[in-house]
Each structure stands twice: as C-alpha cells, then as structure tokens.
A and B are shown apart, each in its own frame.
Chain A
Amino acid sequence: MTNHTKNVRKGKSLRFSRLHLPGHLMMIIWAFIVLLPVYLLISNALKTRVGMYDNPFGPPIPLTLNNFKAVIDQGNFFMYFGNSLIVVSVSLSMILLLGSLAGYGLAHWQGKLSRGLYFFFMIGMMLPIKIATIRLMELMKTLGLFNHLSSIILIYIAMGLPIAVFILTEFIRGLPGDLYEAAHMDGARRGKIYCSIVLPLIKPALATVGIYNLVPIWNDLWFPLIFITQEDKKTVLLAVTKLQGQYTSDWPRIFALLTLSALPVIALYLMFSKSFVTGLTAGAVKG
C-alpha cells in the first residue's frame, strides 16, 4: 500500500468516523432506557390515582393538572423549595471551599502527619453517618440548633468533606509541579497561587465533587426528619412525607412534587457541567 492510498482511505474513514454512528446509536439506546421511566414519572403525575393503576404506561388521558396545582397551591411549595436551595447552596460552597483548601494543603504537605490526616478523612467515607445520629442530636441540642437549617447544613458540610478531600487531593497531586515553581519564581504567594492557578485548573474536579454531593444532600430525608419539625424550615423531601400515609401514599402527587424538585438539580448540574468544557483548555494539563 502506498503512502498516498493510505492517506486517501484515511481521509474517507476519518470523515465517516466523525459522524460517530456507533456512539450515537449507543447514546440513543441509553436515552430510551433512561427516558422510559422518566416518561412514566411525568405522565403519571398527570393522572389520577385510578388512572395510574389502571394503565401506568398509557398516556395521561384524561389529563389532570390537579396534582401539580395542589402541590403548588396547598403545600407551601416555594417555601420548602427555598429551604432546600439554601441548604444545598451553602453546604456545597462550604464543601468546595474547605475541601479544596484541604486538598491543596494535603497535596503539597508530605509527611507522616499529612498521610495520617488524609486517612482520617477517608474514615468518613467508610462508616455510615447514621450511626452518629444520637451523638449529633446531643450536639445540636447543646448548640440549640433544633429547627434551624444550620443544623443540617453543618452536618452536610462535614458529610461532604471526606469525598471532597479525597477527590481534590488526588486531582491537585496530578497537576504539573512546574506550574507552582514558575509562579513561585515570579514571587506569587501561595495563597495567591491557590486562587489564581489551582482553583481554575481544578474546576472539573470541583464540579465533580459538587455534583457528587448535590444529589445526596438534595435528597436526604433522615437528618431533616430528625432535626426539623417546624413547618417553615422543612425541605422539599421532608414535605413529601406529608403525602405519605401510614398504609398508602398519594403517588401521582408525589411524582408531581418530585418532578418539580428535580428541576433545580438539573439546572445546578448544567451549571456545574459547563466547567467541564471551560475548565480545561487543551494543553494546560498534560496529566
């Protein structure tokens, strides 16, 4: 085969391969698998209870908006929503701030003590936090934080830190050392290097940590259940429990409420995932 024909063939196959047909096929199949239950979620939120059980797969005919209406009208929906948003945004920003600072420190500081501290954080990923419920209740009682959002926020920050420290330390360790030296030669202080060089470079890792913690915090029921009994401090998921009876639950209405509650999570996800694209300019990090 001459070099010429090889290049021609390559040109063709390149154009063809740029269509990424197998990739699209695979993605479309998975999209179908994902969207079928999502269709069930939304279409059944538009049905009555009888309609749902009668034919869960069927289209929502007759269509009823009552579930959505009831959720928004009766349930103080926006208040619960606001509480959840406060909890998530404060917790996540603190997790990212404290986690990246600690990761920066752990990545640079080499010694027995630093390895010990790293391990200390890892412990937090391996034990179920529910085990500490009684102690946490005592702590929150002493601090007078029952029925305050800060009770669950403080726990969520602590809960998110092990994974944040784990992922961010690994990530910062992987950054090229030259970067720091160059900056240091230029006389930049380390605090400044953290802000102006490290933070922008670890954006994808920050986004990963953010998303990783976003979901369990938004969807946690246990700690709000224990610490929040006051109506005006309830989170969305805690509000859902009002729709759960002793023997039966109003599922179409729960579907409606949780369809709405998934929207901000998707929005936050889109916001975070943007930094995958912008965070890494080609060539800045070569592994």
Chain B
Amino acid sequence: MKKLTAIFVAILILMTLMPMSALAGEAVKLTMGSWRSDDTTQVQALLDEYKEMTGVEITFAPTVPAQYNATLRLQLDNGTGPDLMYSRTFATSKELYDAGFLMDISDIPALAENFTPASLEAFQADDGAIYAVPYAAVSQIVYYNKAIFSENDLEVPATFEDLLKIGQTLKDKGVEPFANGIASNWDILECVFLGMLPNYVGGAANRALYETGEKKMNDEAFVKALSDFAALSKFLPEGFEAINNEDGPAMFGIGRAAMFIDGSWTVGMFDDYPDLELGVFAIPAPEGNEPGLCFHSDMGMAGNTATKHPEEVKDFLAWFASAEGAQEAANLLPGGFYPMINLPLTLSGEMAQSILALNEGKELDFRFIWKDFMDMYTIMVDNLNAIARGETTPEAAAEAFAAAQEEILAAKK
C-alpha cells in the first residue's frame, strides 16, 4: 500500500509539473477579452487585418456575456487577465481602474482630437484620466411591425398620448400592442423607462441637477414619467410577468405583437425573421415636452496594466482611436452599435442607419442613472415591476426614488 501511495504521489507531481516545461516562445501575442461573443468572426477579422499591418498577433477571446464581469475580475485579480479588453461604461470600469487594473491612456493624442468630452466622460476617472477608448454607443427605441400597423390603419405616433391610443386600438382588436415583459429585471428599466426619461427630464444639463440634489426624483417630471409608464404598462402582453428579454424579440419577430421597445442592438436579431416588415420610431415625448433620446455609451477598449507588452497594447489602442482604426472597426460593428468617434464614418445596414437618424433634432443623453445613481438600479426595477403588476402607484414609486436619491447623495458627502 505504501508503494501504491508513493507511486500516486509521484504521478500527481508529474501531472502538475509537466506543463511548466511547455512554456512557449516569445513572439508578441496578445489576447482581447470581451462579452461580445456574438461578434467573434467580425472582430477576429479586424484583428487579423491589424496583424497584417503591424505583425502583432491578437486573439479575440470572448467569454459568456453574463459572466464577463465576474470572470474578468477574477482573472485580473489573479494576474491572468487579457491584455486588451472590452470595457463597460462608468462605475464598473472605474472600479477596475481605481483598483489599478486598467492603463491610463490619457496621453494618446487622438482621444482629445477625435472624441467629444461627453463620450470620454463614460471612461474617465475622478482625476480626469482616461482609461478606455470609446468604442460604441447604443440607443433605446421602438420597433414596430409595419404590416400590423397598416392593417389597422395606424401611423407612427407623434406624441406619447398617440402611442397610448395606438395601444388601446390594437388591444380592442385583440392584437398584443407590445412584446415587452418584466421577467428579465433589466430591460423594463434600461430600455423602456430610461428610454422614456429624456422626454421628461431633458438632457445632460438637467440630469446634473438631480445629481447635485437640486432636483428631487419625486418632482413633476418624474411623476409624469412614471404615470406615463403606468399607462403604457396596461398594454404589455398576456403573461408579461414571465416574458423576458429573449422572449420579447421572438414574440415580436413572429408577429405576435405590434411593437417592441428595446435597444438598437436588437436590430440584427430580426434578420432571422424574413416575414417581418420592420420599422422604427423614437419613443415619443408627451404633448408639449421637448423630445429627447437615450443614446448611451456602451463599450470602450481598455488595456491591462499587467500586460507583458505595454508598448504593443498602447499602439493598438492609439490605432483604435485614430480615424483609420475607427473606420475599420465601424465596418465590422454589428448593427445597432454606433461608433462614438466624432468623425463622419460610413455605416453599413439600412435599418441601423435609420435608427441612428432618430437622434436628429433631439436632446441626447446616456442612461439617467449610469453616472451617479447606479445604486438605485434595483430599487427602480422593483418599483417599475410593481407598477406593471398594479401593486404600487406612480406617486409611491416616485417617493421611493426620491428617498433612494437622498440616501445616495448623503452617502457621498
């Protein structure tokens, strides 16, 4: 028995030591982490092109989207993170920068030249340092089924009141107006409510007033937004409590609902439904309000401070921030993701372009709570769900928002 154990221990040691000898050569090889497993082919093509130009080999290594934050954090902690990585906006990445994992890339001159301060704000530390190249933005809009609209003699609504009228007309005829549900616990907030909000509270300047506490989240604008949300929620489909953000596009795609409020990123999904006649319009503002639109910084590209090849990583990021690199990347961006570079780029995809065109003439801002009020996320989702279920009133929800706002502002001081 002693012998057997000895043999076993020897095997164990061998098993663990063997791979050490296999440490490979020295050519510059970088990896790029991402949550966009959807875009593997396109991004790898971009990186292959980059290799042709510079000789630096970069491998695209996306992970399961839902696990990106968790696994990236673990890898960075462990010193095994990717050299380049997709970066979320605001708090998530800022925390990584503050923990020392992300490179300070403020000295790339193209950043200041090619991007607006608003775009850079999503990737900026408290001391003003920039830690990611702004990559793509998304917007939240209404998809509609043109066939269903024309069958019922409906037209694209000009005001929120018109939208509610359309909902009522369709419902009376036995057609589900919207394909949105609340089961995912995020899209009802991120796409629907925060999509509506710029129509009520205005753009960045007004948002700042809530961030300083000058305005309270139970003011007239917020109560109106919540009341309109409550009115809209009457037109959610049967069983909306169990419908999630994956069921919604499918339901809309096969023509079971006339409209779907969602992000521009979904536009590519509808290619799978050949019979769908797709149209888009912006979430309309209520009568008398200035129309706004939620155009949200969604992703950036960051470098890892622990990389073995900081020069090459920085070079890539500089290229990525240049007009040339941005155009190459824009060619490969999936539909519904828009380059944030402040230069005229050509975009492919007709539908994606018409979504971008909705921005014109509107006050644009990123998602209302993303900068300072991220901690309100769960409270907001819970209250919106409760409104949709008829368990709370818009006024009570506004009170809850204002209380949370106060608490967050107090904690800051």
- Note whether A and B contact each other (Cβ less than 8 A): yes
Q: Find the B residue at minimum CB distance from A242.
A: B37
Query: In the complex, what residues of A have CB within 8 A of residue B19's CB?
Result: 143-145, 148, 150
Binary A-proximity of B63-87 (CB < 8 A = 1, otherwise 0): 1110100010011011110000000
- A50 near B254 with CB under 8 A, answer yes
- B23 near A245 with CB under 8 A, answer no
Chain-A contact segment, one of B266-274, B375-383, B405-413: B266-274
- B250 near A49 with CB under 8 A, answer yes
Binary A-proximity of B261-303 (CB < 8 A = 1, otherwise 0): 0010110010011110000000000000000000000000000
Q: Quick one: which of B17, B78, B251, B274 has the most chain A CB within 10 A? A: B78
Q: Contacts A144-B20, A148-B19 given; indicate if A241 touches B74 (C-beta within 8 A).
A: no
Question: Cβ of B249 < 8 Å from any Cβ of A?
Answer: yes
A54 and B273 CA atoms in complex are apart in Å by: 11
Q: Find the B residue at minimum CB distance from A245.
A: B38
Contact of A241 among B16, B31, B37, B269 (CB under 8 A): B37
The B1-58 residues at the A interface (CB cut-off 8 A) are 1, 4, 8, 15-20, 23, 31, 35-38, 40
Query: In the complex, what residues of B have CB within 8 A of residue A178's CB?
Result: none
Q: Contacts A134-B77, A141-B78, A154-B16 given; indicate if A247 touches B265 (C-beta within 8 A).
A: yes
Bin chain B's interface residue count: 35 or more
Contact of A244 among B20, B65, B74 (CB under 8 A): B65
- A246 near B265 with CB under 8 A, answer yes
A141 and B79 CA atoms in complex are apart in Å by: 9
**What is the minimal beta-carbon distance from A164 to any residue of chain B, in angstroms?**
15
- B254 near A225 with CB under 8 A, answer no
**What is the minimal beta-carbon distance from B39 to any residue of chain A, in angstroms?**
9
- A246 near B16 with CB under 8 A, answer no
**What is the minimal beta-carbon distance from B6 to any residue of chain A, in angstroms?**
14
Q: Quick one: which of A49, A53, A141, A248 has the most chain B CB within 10 A? A: A248
The A20-74 residues at the B interface (CB cut-off 8 A) are 48-50, 53-54
Query: In the complex, what residues of A have CB within 8 A of residue B275's CB?
Result: 50
Binary B-proximity of A240-262 (CB < 8 A = 1, otherwise 0): 01101111110000000000000
Question: Cβ of A13 < 8 Å from any Cβ of B?
Answer: no
A140 and B269 CA atoms in complex are apart in Å by: 39
Q: Find the B residue at minimum CB distance from A244.
A: B64
Question: Cβ of B356 < 8 Å from any Cβ of A?
Answer: no
Q: Please give the number of chain A residues whose Cβ is less than 8 angstroms from any Cβ of chain B in the complex.
A: 32
**What is the minimal beta-carbon distance from B275 to any residue of chain A, in angstroms?**
8
- A225 near B80 with CB under 8 A, answer no
Question: Cβ of A229 < 8 Å from any Cβ of B?
Answer: yes
Question: Cβ of B359 < 8 Å from any Cβ of A?
Answer: no
Query: In the complex, what residues of A have CB within 8 A of residue B339's CB?
Result: none
Query: In the complex, what residues of B have CB within 8 A of residue A156's CB?
Result: none
- B266 near A247 with CB under 8 A, answer yes
Question: Cβ of A166 < 8 Å from any Cβ of B?
Answer: no
Q: Contacts A49-B250, A137-B74, A137-B78 given; indicate if A244 touches B1 (C-beta within 8 A).
A: no
Question: Cβ of B245 < 8 Å from any Cβ of A?
Answer: yes
Q: Find the A residue at minimum CB distance from B249.
A: A248
Binary B-proximity of A116-138 (CB < 8 A = 1, otherwise 0): 00000000000000000110011
Q: Find the B residue at minimum CB distance from A54.
A: B254
**What is the minimal beta-carbon distance from A125 to any residue of chain B, in angstroms?**
23
Query: In the complex, what residues of B have CB within 8 A of residue A244's CB?
Result: 37, 64-65
A226 and B74 CA atoms in complex are apart in Å by: 8
- B269 near A248 with CB under 8 A, answer yes
Contact of B272 among A50, A98, A141 (CB under 8 A): A50
Question: Cβ of B108 < 8 Å from any Cβ of A?
Answer: no
A154 and B16 CA atoms in complex are apart in Å by: 9
Question: Cβ of A80 < 8 Å from any Cβ of B?
Answer: no
A246 and B35 CA atoms in complex are apart in Å by: 7
**What is the minimal beta-carbon distance from B95 to any residue of chain A, in angstroms?**
17
The B241-267 residues at the A interface (CB cut-off 8 A) are 245-246, 249-251, 253-254, 263, 265-266
**What is the minimal beta-carbon distance from A134 to any residue of chain B, in angstroms?**
6
A137 and B64 CA atoms in complex are apart in Å by: 18
Binary B-proximity of A166-206 (CB < 8 A = 1, otherwise 0): 00000000000000000000000011000000000000000
12 pairs, CB–CB < 8 Å, chain A vs chain B: A50-B254, A53-B251, A137-B78, A144-B20, A150-B18, A225-B63, A225-B64, A229-B61, A241-B64, A246-B65, A248-B269, A249-B246
Given contacts A145-B16, A241-B37, A247-B263, 7 further A-B contacts (CB under 8 A): A145-B19, A191-B1, A226-B75, A241-B64, A245-B38, A246-B38, A248-B246
Report which A residues bind B (CB closer than 8 A): 48-50, 53-54, 98, 133-134, 137-138, 141, 143-146, 148, 150, 154, 190-191, 221, 225-226, 229, 241-242, 244-249
